Structure 1
Amino acid sequence: MVNKPFTQAKPIFENLYSNGFECYFVGGAVRDYLLNQSIGDIDIATNATPEEIQRIFQKTVPVGFEHGTVLVIEDGVSFEVTTYRTEGEYKDYRHPSYVEFVKNIQEDLSRRDFTINAIAMDLMGRIIDPFGGQEDLQNRIIRTVGKAEDRFNEDPLRMLRGIRFVSQLNFSMSHEAIQAIQNQRQLLEKISVERIADEISKLFSKQHIQFALDMMNETGIYKSLPILNDQEHVFMKLLSYDFDSPFEHTGLLVAFLHLLDRRISIQQWIKAYKLSNDIRNKANHLVEVYERYESEGLTNYVLYKADCALKDVMKLIHLLDEPVVDIQSVYERYEHLRIKNRHEMAINGQDLMNWFSNVKRGKWIGDFLEQIEYRIVKEELENDRNEIERLVKQWKAPENN
């Protein structure tokens, strides 16, 4: 019998069994279970059709009905349940020309990308592995189901996905897969840049980034990626780094890429990979703080400006400058700052308007607040209303215009 979190799906299995159907856990959850790694989303495959799944279960959502996928909700937990299927030719390098439901789990597994993802497991932990996925797990190798050229021609993103597994699992790739990527990497240019960006973000969010970059270099796949395709020196710089920890979000990655060559703006990276405004804003903030660090060192004000992104700023400093810094002491300094944000200041903009009641509101309010904020953080001024008032009233009042 399997353990948690698989046991949460027991009611789904029992319900399908009692209605005369079979079902198995499939995909990444099975792979990670066999590797004794933490398990993410659990996917279930069955010979029941989507209509039969909806009839059997009370709470369902047809998230990919035409491809056989139904979301089944049991005790507040959601599972994707998908009908066994085979697929027709991939004419657009992503979607099959048709999907045909089948009754055999081995036929379903035969359409999957890599052998380590083509393993099925039942509720008792019994394994179905027609393509040698368990052996490949033991040998720590990424090998395609069937001919690599065929799998990559169906969906070229699988080439980048395979390299992402190198970063995630610290595996090597089969010679056949490497050769196929070398020969077919240009097909990646037919894939939407949003899908490419998602895979690259995942690649850099895993532990073994350097191994994946080495594989990208060996296969030459980076030459088919936006910006890197005509800025090879940026990729070569990436190769020179020793990444000892993942990038926890894409904004940090974009900031790092920009700082590798500041002639390539953050906006160029954002536009090339069609990334969100949120990612752009995070990257801009990190670069702003890093550049302040460059000009004045790791001062209290730099820590203050970093705020909740301090860990990310320290990663940039570690990667780009490799200074000898006691990280713990930096965090202790941050914790002892007089204020952590402007809302903690003893005064606000309304106080300034009251003190300069004969002056119209305007940009001067923000400028004054910034000066006060700076002095408090630098410990040149106590965060005390009376002290702040005494200081501010010595300043030249802004012109009333």
Structure 2
Amino acid sequence: MLSEPFLQAEPIMITLEERGYESFLVGGAVRDFFANRPIGDIDIATNATPEEVQRIFPRTVPVGIDHGTILVLHNGFSFEITTYRTEGEYDDYRHPSDVSFVKDIKLDLSRRDFTINAIAMDRHGNVLDPFDGKIDLENQIIKTVGSPNERFSEDPLRMLRGVRFVSQLGFQMDSDTEQAIKQLHRLLQRISVERITDEISKLFTHHYINSALNIVSVTNMDRSLPIFDEQEHLFEKLKTIKFHESLNHAGIMFAIFHLLDPNISVQKWIKTYKVSNRIRRKALHLINNYNDYQEKGLTKPVIYSIGKDHLYDFYQLIGLLDLVNLKFNVLLDSYEHLPIKSRDDLVINGQDFINWFPNEKKGKWIGDYLDQIEKLIITEELRNNRDEIESRVREWKARERG
């Protein structure tokens, strides 16, 4: 019998079976269940066609109907239901030229990338494992379904995906699979950079980063990754970093990439890897504050500039690059004891300047004064007190006029 969280999917599976169709739990959820890991999205495979799935369930979204996938919404949960299928040639190294719906779950499992992802389980807990994925899970091995050369030639991104599973699970890579990557890694150059960026980012957000980087090294995969392929010294430097935990954000990864060799501009990394604005902003913020930290140390203005939302990311960055022996709680305590946490905490604002100097024309001077006051308060050279601030500003104005 199923247990949580698979019980959420049981009503969907029962409904399919009552209509005369098969249903199996498949993919990462089954893999993680047998690996005793937290379970994410639950996917279901069935011999019902997409159109039949849409007729059976009242609330559906055709998220990938051309490839047989329908999203079913039920009791506040969503499940991807995909029709058993086989695939034709991969003309563009990503999408099969044609998809054929089939009635045999084993044929569907045979098209999957790695054996650990080719395990199916019915709602009674019975397992279908034609490629010995459970054995590979027990032995902690990443191995392709069938020929690794065929799997990687169909979609070369699977090579990087396999390395990402090494980082995620801490498994070893099967020797034949590793050898195939060594032979075929140049095919990665035919993959869109956005897909490469996504997989590399995921690699660094898991725990066994150094193990994954070792696979990249021994297979020479770095020679087919943008920028790294032109700068061999970069990956050698990257391998020397000891990653003791996953990175909180892909922006930290790109900050590290740039700081490995500041002569390669951060803009080049951002443009080449086509990173999202969210990642770009994080990377730039960390790099700017890292450079300030290198020049000034962990001063109050530097900690203030980092900000609480980025504090742990910065802590990770300096720990990795500079081997700083600093406890995060110490850094957090320094932040918490800042006189102000943002400009919004100032007891005055631009309107106060206008009120104090009604005959002065509005202009850039107001922002300049706010900047100076902010810095003085952060360094505790001035208290965040309205009267004291007004007195200091009037001194400045008198000096300017004098």
Relative to the length of structure 2, the TM-score reads 0.97
Equivalent pair of 2:312/2:328 in contact (CA under 8 Å): no
Aligned to 2:13: 13
**Alpha-carbon distance in structure 1 between the residues aligned to 2:33 and 2:332:** 36
Once the two structures are superposed, the pairs formed by residues 41-60 of structure 1 within 5 Å of their partners are 41-60=41-60
The Cα of 1:10 is off from its aligned counterpart by: 1.2
Q: In structure 2, the residue corresponding to 1:80 is in which secondary structure?
A: strand
Deviations 1:268-302 (A, max 9, x none): 11111111222212111111111111121111221
Q: In structure 1, the residue corresponding to 2:79 is in which secondary structure?
A: strand
Q: In structure 2, the residue corresponding to 1:82 is in which secondary structure?
A: strand
1:218 equivalent in alignment to 2:208: no
Over the matched positions of the two proteins, sequence identity in percent amounts to 57
The Cα of 1:90 is off from its aligned counterpart by: 0.7
The Cα of 1:251 is off from its aligned counterpart by: 1.2
**Alpha-carbon distance in structure 2 between the residues aligned to 1:379 and 1:168:** 45
Q: In structure 2, the residue corresponding to 1:90 is in which secondary structure?
A: coil
Once the two structures are superposed, the pairs formed by residues 307-318 of structure 1 within 5 Å of their partners are 307=307, 308-318=309-319
Aligned to 2:325: 324
> Which stretch shows the higher mean deviation, 86-95 or 288-297?
288-297
Equivalent pair of 1:346/1:383 in contact (CA under 8 Å): yes
Aligned to 2:107: 107
- Matched to 1:377, the amino acid is I
> Which stretch shows the higher mean deviation, 224-233 or 312-321?
312-321
Unaligned runs of 5+ in 2: none
Q: In structure 2, the residue corresponding to 1:62 is in which secondary structure?
A: strand
Q: In structure 2, the residue corresponding to 1:288 is in which secondary structure?
A: helix
**Alpha-carbon distance in structure 2 between the residues aligned to 1:114 and 1:154:** 13
> Which stretch shows the higher mean deviation, 338-347 or 389-398?
389-398
**Alpha-carbon distance in structure 1 between the residues aligned to 2:399 and 2:37:** 62
The Cα of 1:324 is off from its aligned counterpart by: 2.3
**Alpha-carbon distance in structure 2 between the residues aligned to 1:367 and 1:283:** 27
- Matched to 2:167, the amino acid is S
Equivalent pair of 1:364/1:398 in contact (CA under 8 Å): no
Aligned to 1:3: 3
Aligned to 1:364: 365
**Alpha-carbon distance in structure 2 between the residues aligned to 1:103 and 1:221:** 38
**Alpha-carbon distance in structure 2 between the residues aligned to 1:398 and 1:88:** 80
- Matched to 1:381, the amino acid is L
The Cα of 1:2 is off from its aligned counterpart by: 1.9
Aligned to 1:67: 67
**Alpha-carbon distance in structure 2 between the residues aligned to 1:117 and 1:202:** 17
**Alpha-carbon distance in structure 2 between the residues aligned to 1:81 and 1:398:** 74
Aligned to 2:393: 392
Aligned to 1:256: 256
**Alpha-carbon distance in structure 1 between the residues aligned to 2:218 and 2:398:** 64
The Cα of 1:399 is off from its aligned counterpart by: 8.3
**Alpha-carbon distance in structure 2 between the residues aligned to 1:360 and 1:42:** 63
Aligned in 2, Cα 1:397/1:155: closer, same or farther, shift over 3 Å? Answer: farther
- Matched to 1:78, the amino acid is S
**Alpha-carbon distance in structure 2 between the residues aligned to 1:120 and 1:327:** 43
**Alpha-carbon distance in structure 2 between the residues aligned to 1:327 and 1:61:** 44
Q: In structure 2, the residue corresponding to 1:38 is in which secondary structure?
A: coil
Q: In structure 1, the residue corresponding to 2:241 is in which secondary structure?
A: coil
**Alpha-carbon distance in structure 2 between the residues aligned to 1:284 and 1:398:** 38
Aligned to 1:78: 78
Unaligned runs of 5+ in 1: none
Deviations 1:154-195 (A, max 9, x none): 000000000110100001111111111111111000000000
Deviations 1:26-85 (A, max 9, x none): 011100000110011111000000011011101001111111000000011110000000
**Alignment RMSD (CA, Å):** 1.4
Tell me the matched-pair count: 400
The Cα of 1:398 is off from its aligned counterpart by: 10
Deviations 1:186-212 (A, max 9, x none): 100000000000000000010000000
Q: In structure 2, the residue corresponding to 1:160 is in which secondary structure?
A: helix
> Which stretch shows the higher mean deviation, 264-273 or 108-117?
264-273
- Matched to 1:20, the amino acid is G
Q: In structure 2, the residue corresponding to 1:294 is in which secondary structure?
A: helix
Relative to the length of structure 1, the TM-score reads 0.97
